Amino acid sequence: MVMQPPRLSPHGLTDHARASAPPAPAAAGAPADGTGEPAPARPVLETRGLWIRYSGRPAIQDCTLAIAEHRVTAIIGPSGCGKSTLLRHFNRMNEFTPGVTMEGQVLYHGQDLYDRDVDPVEVRRRIGMVFQKPNPFPKSIFQNVAWGPSINGYARRSGGKQALADLVERSLRQAGLFDEVKDRLFSSGLTLSGGQQQRLCIARALAMEPEVILMDEPCSALDPASTARIEDLLFELKERYTIVIVTHNMQQAARVSDYTAFFDAGRLVEFGETDQVFTNPREKKTEDYVTGRFG
C-alpha cells in the first residue's frame, strides 16, 4: 500500500482512494438508487497508514482505505485477518480492550478521530455499531430504542415525549421491525426471535441518527430467512446512511455491497468496486479467496 500520506484533493477524495476506488460519477454505472443521477461518493471515513497492535502483535498493518458516503462497503477476509479489529477502530471501541496500540490516522470528514480533543462519546453518536450476536438491553422494545436518544436529551431538545415516541417508531420502521412489534412495544426485547432482536439492535443504532453504521458480521448468528431480511434492509438504509459491514460470507458481500476490501493477515490486499473485486480481481490472493481456494 502507498506509504506516504495521501494529499487531500479538492473533491475530498484522497489520491489513494481515487486510485483504488473508482470515482463514482464517472465509472459507477447505474447507481444503486436507480435515479439516474449518480451520487458523488466522498469518503466519510478514511484510514491512513493505520497500524493496530494487540500487546505488540500487529492485527492491522499499514492500512490506507477510504469509506465512501452513502455506500455499503464490505470488509472480507479469512478468520483472524483483523476485520473486526479495524471495524471497531472506526468508532473507538478498541479502547475498551487493554493493550491495544495504534499508529497512523483515522479520519472522519477529514478530522482525526483519535485527536486528544476528540470525545469518543461524540464519535460513537455519529458512528453507530451493530454487533455479531444480537445484544438488546434487558428492557422493553421501546426502551431499547429510546434509551440512546433520551440520554442525549432528545426529548428535551425536540419537543417532548411525543417526539421521542415518533423517533422510536421511525427507527423501528426503518429497521423493518415496526409492524411486527407495534402491539407489544413495552414487552421485553428478549422475547423476540434472533432475527428480530438483531433488527431491534439496528433500530436502536438508527435512533441515534448516526451518519455511519458499522456492522460486525450482523447475520452470522441468524437463520437464512432473517439474514435475507437484513440484507434487503441494507439496500434501503444506504440511501441515508453510510454502511461498513464485516462479513465472512463472500456471497453476502457480493450481494449487498458497493465496495469491497479484502484483508489477509492484517494487510489490505485489495480494495475496489465489488463487481470488480469478485469477477476481475487484480491480486492473486484475492482471486484465490473469492474462488474459495483458501480461507
Partner 1 sequence: MRAGRHLRLRRRLSRAFRLVCAATTWLGCGLLAVLLFHLVRDGFGRMNWEFLTSYPSRFAAKAGVKSALWGSVWLMGLTAAFSIPVGVAAAIYLEEYARRGRLSTLIHINIANLAGVPSIVFGILGLAVFVRFLAFDRSLLSGSLTMSLVILPVIIIAAREALRAVPDSIRQAAYALGATRWQTVRHHVLPAAAPGILTGVILAMSRALGETAPLIMIGALTYVAFVPEHPLDPFSTLPIQVFNWASRPQQAFHEAAAAGILVLLAVLLLMNSAAVLLRHRTQRYRRW
Partner 2 sequence: MSAPKSLSRKLTRSAREEAVRGVLFICALISVATTVGILVVLAREAAAFFEHVPVADFLFGTRWAPLLEPRSFGVLPLVCGTFLVVAGSSLIAIPIGVLSGMYLSEFASDRVRGIVKPVLEILAGIPTVVYGYFALTFVTPQLARVFPDIHIFNAASASIVVGIMVLPMVASLCDDALRAVPESLRHAAYAVGATPFEVSMRVVFPAALSGVLASFVLAMSRAIGETMAVTLAAGVTPKLTANPLESIQTMTAYIVQVSLGDTPAGTVEYQTIFAVGALLFAITLSLNLLAHRILRRFREAYE
Block residue for cell numbers 479538492 = 10
Among 127, 209, 217, 222, smallest CA distance to 174 is for 209
Relative orientation angle of helices 160-174 and 141-151, to the nearest 10 degrees: 120
Figure out which of the listed residues 16, 71, 89, 124 binds partner 1, where binding follows CB under 8 A.
Answer: 124
Q: What is the DSSP-derived secondary structure letter of residue 107? A: E
Q: Please state the closest distance from residue 97 (CB atom) to partner 1, in A.
A: 11
Buried (b) or exposed (e) across 238-270, using 16+ Cβ within 10 A? Answer: beebbbbbbbebbebbbbbbbbbbbbbebbbbb
Residue 188 interacts with which of partner 1, partner 2, none, CB < 5 to 8 Å by class: partner 1
Site for partner 1 in 126-165 (CB under 8 A): 126, 128-129, 131, 133, 135-138, 147-148, 151-152
Closest CA to 104 of 169, 45, 146, 52: 52
- 221, 132 contact by CB (below 8 A): yes
Q: Does 69 sit near partner 2 (CB under 8 A)?
A: yes
Which of the ranges 74-82, 116-124, 167-175, 279-287 carries the binding residues for partner 1, by CB under 8 A?
A: 116-124
- Nearest distance from C-beta of residue 182 to partner 2, angstroms: 32
Q: Residue 133 carries which side chain, given as an amino acid letter?
A: K
Our CB check for partner 1 shows the closer of 51 and 114 to be 114
Q: Which stretch binds partner 2 (CB under 8 A): 1-9, 71-79, 109-117, 268-276?
A: 109-117
Parallel, antiparallel, or unpaired for β 43-54 and 212-216?
unpaired
Residues 14-43, mask of contacts with partner 2 (x by CB under 8 A): ----------------------------x-
Q: How far is the CB of 163 from partner 1 (least distance, A)?
A: 18
- Grid coordinates of 56: 505488540
Q: Which three cell numbers stand for residue 226?
A: 432473517
Q: Segment 59-98, which members bind partner 1 (CB under 8 A)?
A: 91, 93, 96, 98
User: What is d(CA 20, CA 16) in angstroms, rounded to the nearest whole number?
Assistant: 6
Among residues 45, 113, 222, 246, which is the contact residue for partner 2, using CB under 8 A? Answer: 113
- Using CB atoms within 10 Å of the CB of residue 121, give its burial: 0 to 12 exposed, 13 to 18 middle, 19+ buried: exposed
**Which of 62, 211, 216, 273 lies at the binding interface for partner 2 (CB under 8 A)?**
211
CA–CA gap between residue 271 and residue 85 (Å, rounded) = 17
Closest CA to 84 of 258, 281, 220: 220
User: Considering beta carbons, is residue 119 or 183 the nearer one to partner 1?
Assistant: 119
53 touches partner 2 (CB under 8 A)? no
Contact pick of 24, 181, 205, 234 for partner 1 (by CB under 8 A): 205
Q: Which does 289 bind (CB under 5 to 8 A by kind): partner 2, partner 1, none?
A: none
If one asks whether residue 198 binds partner 1 (CB under 8 A), the answer comes out as no
The pair phi, psi for residue 118, each rounded to 5°, is -85, 135
Closest distance of CB 246 from partner 2, Å = 23
Binding site for partner 2 (CB under 8 A): 42, 69, 108-109, 111, 113, 117-119, 121-123, 126, 211
Binding site for partner 1 (CB under 8 A): 91, 93, 96, 98, 121-126, 128-129, 131, 133, 135-138, 147-148, 151-152, 188, 190, 201, 204-205, 208
